[in-house]
Amino acid sequence: MIPPTGENHLRGAVSEYVKHYHRERNHQGVGSRLLTPAGPAVRPANGNAPIERRERLGGLLNFYYRRAA
């Protein structure tokens, strides 16, 4: 991990972590629900779709998902 090189760098890293923590860690949320829902109800995932990954902070934080049906 690269130490922050300035205030803007630190603020950007904290912002990305907060987005990940509140929107992508549903298994850690209250009652297995997201703390901050991303939007309206989402269609169930297609069980046959390939698993995709969204990364934040250069791959330090990863979110795995399947596209909606």
Can you give the pLDDT at residue 32?
A: 65
CA-wise closest residue to 24 among 13, 14, 34: 34
The structure's pTM equals 0.55
Residues 6-45 pLDDT 10s: 999 999 989 988 888 877 776 655 666 666 666 555 566 6
Cα separations in angstroms, 67 against 2, 6, 46, 52: 32, 37, 6, 8
**Dihedral through CA 46, CA 24, CA 59, CA 11, nearest 10?**
150
What does the domain layout of the chain look like in residue ranges? 7-65
CA-to-CA distance for 67 and 43, rounded, in angstroms?
9
